[in-house]
Structure 1
């Protein structure tokens, strides 16, 4: 049996400038492997202007999570993961079942 141990110092980090009202999406690969970037951007646009409206912001996050879940089990769907696999010579099609976590935040300064 093998166990993977991840330590904080092995995490990838990056810094970027933000402005008040920016929408930030943090999600696991189960989201990015199954939902195209264009769809995620459209969903994030729905979240713009929802600062302080927790229930509506949560509804957008839930929408992204359910979309990722449903697409992950679609065997005929050409997912972002499958497209990437094909570009690397792997014959793949369909969604990719995986853990799915979505966190949406709106910057307030």
Structure 2
């Protein structure tokens, strides 16, 4: 999950409280209500309703059923990729009001709810690798880089660490032509015209919070 610390901090609100309570509510609900296991969208709604902290957060939730179907509900610009035999076979799409302004669950009355979640599903196979992350990962690391890291590290913990480290490195590199920079230019954001004349363009990663989870499908 992801949150916007620059906006809530200005209001003297700890931006970590809302997502932390939201995630705790996910855990408690799953422990207490087994029927929720089949519907991540409903779980998002119940966890959101139970969250009393002030703040907001993007969120992605995925549940693997016994038949191998992965059900996904996503609000905002967190993402999920499925890697199979060295290629990306499934990707979620971010939800944004406008560039760099994602959908979010919020404590405010005006905002997105579980009904706004993008719901999808994918049939998994043994050996598939699932990567989930905040936009801090996907804004700074290209899909082909993700595939390369997954191929290099067989241990999922090591793969997750490597992806997080790569995202962090790219986020601080002013010369890296990141996914974020490419999208920004496609939306009309760029350097001033006089810099363009000199052959310059908007580049650099996006400093952000970075969350990465990597899992692999194995036989039970």
Fold-level match, TM-score > 0.5? yes
Residue aligning to 2:174: 75
Aligned equivalents of 1:8 and 1:46: distance in 2?
37
- For normalisation by structure 2, the TM-score amounts to 0.43
Q: How far apart, in 2, do the equivalents of 1:30 and 1:105 lie? A: 18
Q: Which residue of the partner structure matches residue 105 of structure 1?
A: 215
Q: State whether structure 2 residue 197 is matched by structure 1 residue 87.
A: no
CA drift of 1:57 comes to 2.0
Describe the superposition over 1:58-94 as per-residue Cα deviations: whole angstroms up to 9, x where unpaired.
1111000000001101111111100111111111321
* CA radius of gyration, larger in: 2
How far apart in 2 are the matches of 1:13 and 1:97? 28
In the alignment of these two chains, the number of paired residues is 102
| Bigger relative CO (Cα 8 Å, ≥ 6 apart) | 1
**Separation (CA, whole Å) in 2 of partners of 1:17 and 1:106:** 13
Q: Report the aligned-residue RMSD.
A: 1.9
Query: How far has the Cα of 1:41 moved from its partner?
Result: 1.2
- Bigger share in strand: 2
In structure 2, what is the Cα distance between the partners aligned to 1:27 and 1:20? 21
- Equivalent-residue separation in structure 2 for 1:10 and 1:75 (angstroms): 35
Q: With structure 1 as the length reference, what TM-score do the two structures score?
A: 0.82
Describe the SS at the equivalent of 2:118.
coil
The answer for the alignment partner of 2:125 in structure 1 is 19
Displacement of 1:7: 4.3
Equivalent residue of 1:59, what SS?
helix
Q: Look up the SS of the partner of 1:14 in the other structure.
A: strand
Unmatched runs of 5 consecutive residues or more in structure 1? 51-55
